[in-house]
Chains A and B, each alone.
Chain A
């Protein structure tokens, strides 16, 4: 091969490699971008029953008294979380749009001051985006002194646009003891 035909090939190769390397880095970044994208995806499709982590606005669409939705509450403590945690009622019935107030009881039995975080999940997942929390203890970390007990508030309504075929939904809270990770 004479020198003239070698050079352009070299340059083309260089250009190609640069482009491909950029693609590689872009895809690496895309892997991490999937994390926020996943939340958007969950929000749209109701995947995994993730609910909003910030407060919703007060319902302004009125109340649909023609429908009654049964809302069940499940409370669980994660492994190693030496807390008591329970809702005051197992389930309540609400009309879409109607504001409800439910208290959850928690007591720190770990023998030390601690911080807990409740993680919500709604089933069916599709209903998650219609479950509007005005106030929820799950928005914040809950610090409790040893043996301290507390009633934690949840104020919510079910969006009036909840799909017709859903008449029962379940809200589960899992309470994690995050004392160690919150400190660091």
Chain B
């Protein structure tokens, strides 16, 4: 401990007056679910029972301490047993306990009833972040602490003020979003050690055990943002893996789902593009440093010296400096190293980001390999291919796993039946989430298409909205996601389903205009 730190400690303690701190609730939260309310009630019941027993017992004690003291001339009695009294004070507590066990049992039975949920979300803990996967929606993402380390790491002096950050240590980059009033089931598991997913406002705390799944559920009554933390010691940064749940109205939730789906498509496109792009060394190093600071520096340290032996140094490490061990380097970063704290980043970072951070690790802190790694290299290696040491000729590496080669755009005309069949399919995948399978929508945010002026009026206006979206509304443009033929089909479908019998057939050629 350096003397300077002590100085800061004293100074900091003087400055951090209570006026700056947030008020802390003095009791358990009542939460925002029926379960958390009954847990709170149970807590209060037991607490009052204990308080009353305490007053009686301690009262008797203090009475005898005051009145039966020798200094007041008290003479000691000689009694030393009374079967009657002893039976009494065995029986009464049993009755009180039964009175407490009853409501506890009913609450518990309710808590453990995971059946009939509306949404299933898989929650996976890993050192030291949470991963959420919406089971039926195909959305998944990591949720990482958003408070910058410059706010909490004060060992070299206070670098940034934490007191102006109301959500210090309780904020994440991407919160879990769930709808209000729907039963959400959590399937909880872990990638490495045991974690515990805890949101006090829901009264949900469930351990995440590696290799096994646990269930918990919640049904939130109030929209809002609720914060929790990992509740099982899971290693070094156990204190830095918060949980944030953003509970939204159903409409806002659907909106969010759509945004996520779009973002997913965009990300896939960017990923595909990055496979053919070649980044310059400077670009790679710049991006790499950012990624390194955000994801790697907590363990391997900004200096690359790590925290041996659990977190080895990267500076001068054979993996990061030997030219023909690049494959291994990529594999470790992409897939992780089993049995160590090193987790795989293949699902957390894009190929481009992984390429950049590996380039950074191979060229920073005097690891001057001069190797520039491209997204395509990462993709090829991660899929099991072996790279040649001469990485500079990376263009020549064939990429087996390149997703979706841009197929010829099919502009041919289709029959009405073909259009309707294809349209129904596309509608189910892209539109039904908001506008519903029966075309009734969820007004007012998602208007009905059945009988809507757009769907039975001017064809071109309809095409325009589907292709380019409607500014100021939740309706997004699908031109980037759907082929002209798919758009034509879905428009045809919308104009002829649910009694919108316009009889219009729209073809790819007219959409492409």
Contact = CB atoms under 8 A, between A and B. Distances in A.
Complex: A in contact with B (CB within 8 Å): yes
A72 B135 contact: yes
Given A111-B327, A121-B211, A121-B213, A76 B189 contact: yes
Contacts of B215: 123-124, 170
14 contacts: A49-B213, A72-B120, A72-B135, A74-B187, A76-B189, A78-B338, A79-B191, A81-B338, A108-B384, A109-B383, A110-B331, A111-B385, A168-B116, A172-B189
Interface in A104-143: 107-111, 119, 121-124
B115 A110 contact: no
Given A49-B213, A111-B381, A121-B212, A79 B338 contact: yes
Interface string B207-222: 0011111110000000
Given A121-B211, A168-B115, A146 B384 contact: yes
Interface in A125-184: 146-147, 165-168, 170, 172, 174, 176-177
Interface in B328-374: 331, 334-340, 342-344
A94 interface: no
Interface residues of B, number: 40
A53 interface: no
Given A72-B120, A79-B342, 15 more contacts: A76-B124, A78-B211, A79-B335, A79-B337, A81-B335, A82-B331, A107-B384, A111-B384, A121-B212, A123-B187, A124-B215, A166-B115, A170-B187, A176-B338, A177-B338
B114 interface: yes
Contacts of A81: 335, 338
Contacts of B299: none
Contact of A109 (B135, B210, B384): B384
B151 interface: no
Interface string A72-115: 10101011111000000010000000000000000111110000
Interface residues of A, number: 32
A111 B330 CA distance: 11
B136 interface: yes
A23 interface: no
A123 B331 contact: no
A48 interface: yes
B503 to A, nearest CB: 37
A167 B331 contact: no
Interface of A: 48-49, 72, 74, 76, 78-82, 90, 107-111, 119, 121-124, 146-147, 165-168, 170, 172, 174, 176-177
Contacts of B209: 48
Contacts of A121: 189, 211-213
A72 B215 CA distance: 13
B336 A79 contact: yes
Contact of A111 (B114, B136, B213, B331): B331
A8 B191 CA distance: 61
Contacts of A172: 187, 189, 212-213
A110 B344 CA distance: 12
B126 interface: yes
A69 to B, nearest CB: 11
Which has the most chain B C-beta neighbours within 10 Å: A108, A119, A166, A174? A174
Contacts of A109: 335, 382-384
Contacts of A167: 115-116
B214 A123 contact: yes
Contacts of A123: 114, 187, 213-215
Given A76-B124, A82-B382, A111-B384, A174 B211 contact: yes
Nearest to B113: A165
A111 B120 CA distance: 34
Nearest to B328: A111
Contact of A80 (B212, B344, B384): B344
Given A109-B384, A111-B384, A111-B385, A78 B213 contact: no
B117 interface: yes
A170 B133 CA distance: 14
Given A90-B135, A124-B114, A78 B384 contact: no
A176 B136 CA distance: 25
